[in-house]
Structure 1
Amino acid sequence: KNFFLYPVELELNFYFDNDFADIFEVRGYKREKRGKFYPVEVKKDKIRFGYKGLDNITRETLISFTPFPSDIVSTKVNYKIKLNPKESYTLYLTIQCLIEKQSLMESSYKEALYYIKRRVKDWENKSCKIYTSNEQFNQWLKRSWADIVMLTTSTEYGIYPYAGIPWFNTIFGRDGIITALECLWINPFIAKGTLAFLAHHQAKEFNPEQDAEPGKIVHEIRKGELARTGEIPYAKYYGSVDTTPLFVILASKYFERTGDIDFIKSIWENIVLAVSWIDNYGDVDRDGFVEYFPSKKGLSNKGWKDSEDSIFYEDGTLVKPPIALVEVQGYVYKAKKEASKLARILGEKELALKWEKSAEKIKELIEEKFWCDEINCFVLALDGDKRQCKVRTSNAGHLLFSKAITPSKARILASLFFEKHFFSGWGIRTLSSLEIRYNPLSYHNGSVWPHDNALIAFGFSLYGFKEETIKILKALFEASTFFKLRRIPELFCGFERRPNEGPTHYPVACHPQAWSSGAVFLILQGCLGLSIEKNEIIFKHPMLPHFLEELWIKDLILKKGKVDLHLKRHGDDVVVNIIKKEGEVKIFIEK
């Protein structure tokens, strides 16, 4: 817009290029050769770049301009603009990425914006809305949910949350499941789509290149050039040991939330196969624990901390495989408990009893084999000789989420995680600062991961440690005020909190990252002691932090009804009021 009282003339020049680099090339992967670049195609209102990869797939980038430019020469676009006093000029630049054989309608900026707004509106109609008396907290909630919506993609099996931008903008099994769990009370359709997709892509046979075994749930799916050519093994890769038990947990929790027995019946075979994988292939040496060996082409570590240096002994040396991670055993315990519930509902009594007994045995083994008096904590892992890796990590906190340990041990962990060597002031570190490999700048050895904190915080609430849950919520909320757009990233550095300074950014973290965006919703659920079972809402000892006086939940959809709620804090107490109720909804409050 020209704010002067006289006419002005100006030129705008745009320069474009495209190298069609695969995301792994951006990360530093070196290739011996590449595909064929097509000559740049120029028209009066658009530029088209083209590339045929070594996978024989043609990829194009189409850049369109509205209104027409004054001139386009090769990859330079020129606008000569004349503006009278107070006159405005709007330029639309639309970039579309086209892949051969994939249907994608060429659309204008306005058309694309319209479809996005319509999609967001559809999401609003299917999700409950949360508001509080704290506008800064509301901004964090709004940004987090907007990022969940942005990252969630439609598949032929339902919606699925992609893991994160830019590095993990694709299907990840573990990330999708945990994101769905975090958001389950707000929108169960994420869980349904995630379960349906993963059930369809469950491994049916052995494939060492993919780390695939019958019943295993997929870790990662990529469709870039390097994946299609086999230069990297991640086209369809099954190299994680925790995704399969997490799949079973999500299935049971989805049923608990919705009562959708027809869907559970449709994936029951997949659930049974997943539990069978745990027993037949996950437990490598038949000692009752799920272990893994490093892959030759894929990942060397197969839990959520999959860096090469993240699993080690107390002296810093790397662990001898097969490796049994502590949190994975908790997931397995939880998976068998949840599978047993579903089996009983479906009339599979013998299977239910078998899984129930197995779960209780695993719980005993976790206490017996993973607890270490020397560090007053559950150890990181057991090695191939069943030797303990006596390292204090956040992994042990996931046992709280799985409710796989006794209340007395849970109390010890709750105290331990808030000691100075673990708690940075912004959250619980992945690794205690007392450990030899501690590095607050590292990816997994001393940083703070919001989703990690969310699972631990929710675990605190399951044992009744609401004050600890609130401490985590407060820390991450305050951290969010220092990040652009209130967007909590994948991780941030684990330096100790200093007055008048925010957390130190991890330079190449994904933001947004789905399970980081979902963290606030799971922690808030833990604070409220909120559980939903079909048409019943239960608040168990609800608490709110001092910075949240009031909280509103609008359009909370249940199996046969919908409800609006208002929660108000009075000291340490929370009063729940029903604003509006439709259908057969029951609400219980335990104090």
Structure 2
Amino acid sequence: MTEKKIQVGDKWYVLATFARPDEQPQTIKRDHSFAMFDRLGDISALAPCQEGLYHEDTRYLSYQELTINGARPLYLGSSVQEANSLLAIDLMNPDLAERGEVVLPKGELHLFRAKLLWQGACYEHLRVSHHGSRPAHVRIELAFDADFVDLFEVRGMQRQRHGERLPPQLTADTVTLPYRGLDAAQRRTRLRFDPPPHALEPHRARFDVRLDPGEERHFYFTVACEREGDPPPALVDYLTAFRANNAARRELVEASCHLRTSNPLANLWLDRSVSDLAMLTTRLRTGPYPFAGVPWYSTTFGRDGILTALEYLWLDPSLARGVLEFLADTQATASDAARDAEPGKILHEARSSEMARTREIPFGRYYGTVDATPLFLVLAGAYWQRTADAATVQRLWPNLMAALGWIDGHGDADGDGFVEYARKSADGLTQQGWKDSHDSVFHRDGRSAEAPIALCEVQGYVYQGKLAMSQMARAFGDEVLALRLAQEAENLRVRFQSAFWSPERGSYALALDGDKRRCEVLASNVGHCLWSGIAADDHAQRIADALLGPAFFSGWGVRTVAEGEARYNPMSYHNGSIWPHDNAIAAMGLARYGRTEDAMRLLAAMFESSLHFDLHRLPELFCGFPRRHDAGPTLYPVACSPQAWAAAAPFAVLQACLGLSFEGETKDVCLRTPRLPGFIDWLRIERLGLPGASCDLLLTRHERSVGVEVLRKDAGVNVRVVA
């Protein structure tokens, strides 16, 4: 198989090392582990290959192949079940021959494989059922290996040195494959077999099986990921892991608000989004945190976690609380140029793999993001408004004030009133906004913008964050701080109009470069300016018209860069593709400025695109080609799927269309001029509000309005509908 060329953004980011459009990997995730299998449930030995069992960004199982008499089974079907936590695969035997004679005709054996992850281990159940008329004697073998490759190597990075593979250790039912890394930590892949194999070698287990007609046999394989210094996984039997895994998923899903619509396809879409978020959410010491995406971003990202929590806040505030707690706990307290860290700055990304621990990559804890810090304030304000959880917000208040200090200090190093970024780490990210590929910030003629760079949307986040802090300060009795922050926000809004508005383009500039020259590029970043509220009213209407015009809107969504711009490419990562979360933010902005009908257009496009994606799952991004009546959207080959902020995007757009807001202190639920898209006749919302203070609503679409019926309401909850 020919190795593919690496397409480099920054050298750390999405590397198109390998893509097989004919066969998407099947993915499951649980906490710090995820696994990718081919359609037979195996892990290919061919290189380059993304498949494997990963734990904390290290591949603990790099090869797995199930055979019957030396032949691979034939594929019947597969599905991801139990809210994304179980991979189920149906197989059958091919014609099995000995000395040229078929001894077991095709299809007499049915093989059912089920795989799940639980507490640092992969559990597999293999059931073999005999549907033939004569006894069958077969040899079932499972081959395996572990390469302990770092995820960044899988993505295309080259390492000069590696650790040492240590001698395998065997017992009657267990194989342990050890590896000592350059970080001096020993990692072990421990494989356990039940029943014990008839023969067990360092990389192969063999079972000699006799089945009578109608008989079935069961085999269980467990692969545990262990690292020296960490508690080893507490291995259990398959059924115990299955039940515990399902119970944990149900608890997470059932804790949030529940939606049901008149449209079964919309229900599948929304249910898939809920399941994807449940799969990606990891229980940390500080609370639940949505890992950004599988496979490349299965870890904590500051920006991604914040935006996911904001999109999902109205359904489950506990996710926002977990994000705030973790980011406060990891907030930078000192300057470290190698990690782009400065006091008060919020984390970009955290990794714990071998390469992170040896500092071969800077992402052990990396702070090269300009927007996570103001967005931290935005999330805290939104969480306060949603919940009135004074205890949490007051506990986090020193962290929020430290973030404000970074915004006004290191974030505005030249004192011009705008927050900028310039990479200090030699190995860090060149671009540090959400579009963080190296070529995403440029001038109208295509020239790259030189740092320090002030992005338009970041100024909006700062404006939004200071207003949120002002409101919380007032609620906590600090009127002096509240007035100061409100005035600073207003001053920023005024300066922003003159510095960023381009009358010629009829839009805000993408950014100001290091010489304070406008990058007059039509980019979707301006949709974020609508969301934050920093846009002037007349400017907002022109921006809204452009976002729904043909240069931006493909029919499937708003492109990251408008068609016709210098670096426009519908197949690029950030310069013409379509990102669901970016569209969700634009939709929230459109609704803010009274363009709810346009927000519904984006919701409809998002739903219609989901009908063409596997499992109705919105990917991280897809290509920005114009919509054709005879084809669906074009996939981006190495997009993460699932991706947290893409999974949460439908809920943010739906909230925007409903005009739904909360006032936690008074327990008010308000729907301002609610609208439903044409593909939803009615929407039932259950457990809307807070635990012990919630309501159930039924919304019915009429020709020009939406009827709201309160089905159930706890004492103290107030439901208001504003026409």
When the two structures are superposed, what TM-score results if normalisation uses the length of structure 2?
A: 0.80
Conserved? CA contact 2:660–2:672, under 8 Å: yes
Aligned counterpart, 2:178 = 50
Q: Does 1:421 align with 2:551?
A: yes
Conserved? CA contact 1:133–1:551, under 8 Å: yes
Q: 1:40 aligns with which of 168, 180, 200?
A: 168
Aligned counterpart, 1:213 = 342
Deviation of residue 572 (structure 1)? Answer: 2.8
Identity among equivalent pairs (%): 45
Per residue, is there more helix in 1 or in 2? 1
Q: In the comparison of the two structures, how many residue pairs are matched? A: 591
Equivalent-residue separation in structure 1 for 2:711 and 2:137 (angstroms): 58
Residues 223-279 of structure 1 deviation map (CA, whole Å, 9 limit, x = unaligned)? 011110011111111111100000001001101111101111101111111111100
Aligned counterpart, 2:587 = 457
Equivalent-residue separation in structure 2 for 1:499 and 1:45 (angstroms): 57
Aligned counterpart, 1:386 = 516
- Structure 2 residue runs of 5 or longer lacking an equivalent are 1-128
Question: Which fold has the larger relative contact order, with Cα–Cα distance below 8 Å and residues 6 or more apart in sequence?
Answer: 1
- Partner SS state of residue 342, structure 2: coil
Deviation of residue 375 (structure 1)? Answer: 1.4
Residues 402-452 of structure 1 deviation map (CA, whole Å, 9 limit, x = unaligned)? 011122211111110121121111110101111111111111111111111
Aligned counterpart, 1:479 = 609
Deviation of residue 559 (structure 1)? Answer: 6.3
Aligned counterpart, 2:253 = 124
Alignment of 1:283-302 (within 5 A): 283-295=412-424, 296-302=426-432
Aligned counterpart, 2:271 = 142
Aligned counterpart, 2:578 = 448
Residues 185-217 of structure 1 deviation map (CA, whole Å, 9 limit, x = unaligned)? 111000011101111111111111111111111
For structure 1, which segment, 427-436 or 565-574, has the greater mean C-alpha deviation from structure 2 after superposition? 565-574
Deviation of residue 571 (structure 1)? Answer: 1.6
- Partner SS state of residue 145, structure 2: coil
Alignment of 1:341-420 (within 5 A): 341-420=471-550
For structure 1, which segment, 153-162 or 247-256, has the greater mean C-alpha deviation from structure 2 after superposition? 153-162
Q: 2:303 aligns with which of 157, 174, 188?
A: 174
Aligned counterpart, 2:74 = none
Q: 1:437 aligns with which of 544, 560, 567?
A: 567
Equivalent-residue separation in structure 2 for 1:499 and 1:12 (angstroms): 49
Aligned counterpart, 2:714 = 582
Conserved? CA contact 1:258–1:559, under 8 Å: no
Amino acid at match of 2:162: R
Aligned counterpart, 2:450 = 320
- Partner SS state of residue 320, structure 1: coil
Conserved? CA contact 1:183–1:522, under 8 Å: yes
Deviation of residue 560 (structure 1)? Answer: 5.0
Alignment of 1:79-94 (within 5 A): 79-94=207-222
Conserved? CA contact 1:132–1:548, under 8 Å: yes
Equivalent-residue separation in structure 1 for 2:407 and 2:610 (angstroms): 38
- Structure 1 residue runs of 5 or longer lacking an equivalent are none
Aligned counterpart, 1:571 = 703
Per residue, is there more strand in 1 or in 2? 2
Deviation of residue 95 (structure 1)? Answer: 2.3
Equivalent-residue separation in structure 1 for 2:452 and 2:414 (angstroms): 9
Q: 1:558 aligns with which of 666, 690, 698?
A: 690
Q: Does 1:20 align with 2:152?
A: no
Deviation of residue 309 (structure 1)? Answer: 0.6
Alignment of 1:119-268 (within 5 A): 119-268=248-397
Conserved? CA contact 1:489–1:513, under 8 Å: yes
Conserved? CA contact 2:253–2:278, under 8 Å: no
Equivalent-residue separation in structure 1 for 2:218 and 2:662 (angstroms): 49
Amino acid at match of 2:267: N
Name the CA shift for 1:560/1:118 in 2 (closer, same or farther; >3 Å).
Answer: closer
Equivalent-residue separation in structure 2 for 1:329 and 1:68 (angstroms): 62
Aligned counterpart, 1:508 = 638
Aligned counterpart, 2:652 = 522
Q: Does 1:543 align with 2:675?
A: yes
Q: Does 1:68 align with 2:196?
A: yes
Deviation of residue 69 (structure 1)? Answer: 2.8
Equivalent-residue separation in structure 1 for 2:254 and 2:679 (angstroms): 29
Equivalent-residue separation in structure 1 for 2:378 and 2:403 (angstroms): 11
- Partner SS state of residue 538, structure 1: strand
